[in-house]
Amino acid sequence: MSDNAALLTRQVQERSARHRELAELMADPAVIGDVAKLRDLAREHAELAPIVEVGAEYLAVLDQLQQAEELAAGSEDPELVELAQAESEELSTRKEQLEESLHQLLVPKDPLDDRPAVLEIRAGTGGDEAGLFAADLFRMYSRYAAQHDWNVEMISSTEGALEGLKEVIFVVRGRDAYGHLRYESGVHRVQRVPETESSGRIHTSAATVAVLPEAEEVDIEIDPADLKVDVFRSSGPGGQSVNTTDSAVRITHEPTGLVVTCQDEKSQHKNKAKALKVLRSRLLDLKVAEQEADRARERRTQVGTGDRSAKIRTYNFPQNRVTDHRIHLTLHRLEATLGGDLDELVEALRVAGAEERMEAVAEA
């Protein structure tokens, strides 16, 4: 058995043993009564299931391959030897396929992938057209979330002209939400004839997207002494409380200079809670960005989320084209993409990210 096969065999056996252990724990009456613990065990059990399934086939193929090779080497019957050699070739091919699958399944999962995703979309260069594009991106991600039965929670929004958006911040909650959306961070560029353009000239504008893992209080401790909290009257659409009560909240984290404003709720208390949630996520994101930057310095990355100023994708209306510049993937179905059909793009980016992590593990 090769070193690679021996290593994979050991890893499969370890994961399979843990999978069985989790099943026994989940049947324990003491665990059944602890909802939080049962949920965590069930999640780990589900994550191990694909490894156990592929691993079982891999171990069976290894055993069959060994038997075929021994038969081919030990038999004196030419016809039997030929059959055994043919079977060995087929099994060797299947073995390589299963090894590739296991390598991908065994890549260490980012513990943040299961978190809700905090998305911040801001209009960039391009005037009113950039605001319209920001609104398009918001609808795209909202529809993508709906297709996956995820929930969207609005944090704050600032409207622009012509039903566009200057800025919108929202949370997407669902299984692996951050894991699916994390590679959307960066500059998105659109090329089209704006509604405001009478001559039919193609215009280029942009919007920035930041995707942050939602932070929990245990992730980031915020010293109240580091916060400057200002309250003021809301502006724009919002109901009866607009311009009548000091319900809007602006929080400045003085050590980092981060500023978060929230005014969508009528309650000052709710606005402050939402602003703190975003601030905590931004502080966690700073830590993640530092780790990504360290990784990028060590090795060239394709899809790392460290550089938020990088142009990552172009939406070209005249050519019905969406191009992701990091993985050189072009799709000629722009309308479907903006309608929330992001699965092919997202999956390609996740595969590229997994390959990077595999390479990082191999180099470590």
Q: What is the pLDDT of residues 72-106, one digit of tens each?
A: 888 888 889 899 999 999 999 999 999 988 987 88
- Does residue 300 surpass a pLDDT of 50? no
Residues in Cβ contact with 55 at an 8 Å cutoff, skipping those fewer than 6 apart: 8, 11, 12, 13, 15, 16, 102
Query: Where does the pLDDT of residue 358 fall: very low under 50, low under 70, confident under 90, or very high at 90 and above?
Result: low
The CATH architecture that domain 117-363 belongs to is 2-Layer Sandwich (3.30)
Percent above pLDDT 90 for the chain: 55
Region 345-354: mean pLDDT is: 88
Region 200-205: mean pLDDT is: 88
Which tokens hold the place of 144? 């993508």
Region 26-47: mean pLDDT is: 90
- Does residue 308 surpass a pLDDT of 60? no
Cβ–Cβ < 8 Å for 205, 127: yes
Q: Tell which residue, 123, 122, 120, has the closest CA to residue 285.
A: 120
What does the mean pLDDT of the chain come to? Answer: 86
Residue 266 DSSP code: S
pLDDT given for residue 52 in this prediction: 96
| Strands of the chain, DSSP E | 117-123, 151-159, 165-173, 186-192, 203-213, 227-232, 248-253, 258-262, 311-316, 321-324, 329-331
- The CB density around residue 196, as the number of other CB atoms within 10 Å, is 12
Query: Where does the pLDDT of residue 217 fall: very low under 50, low under 70, confident under 90, or very high at 90 and above?
Result: confident
- Does residue 145 surpass a pLDDT of 90? yes
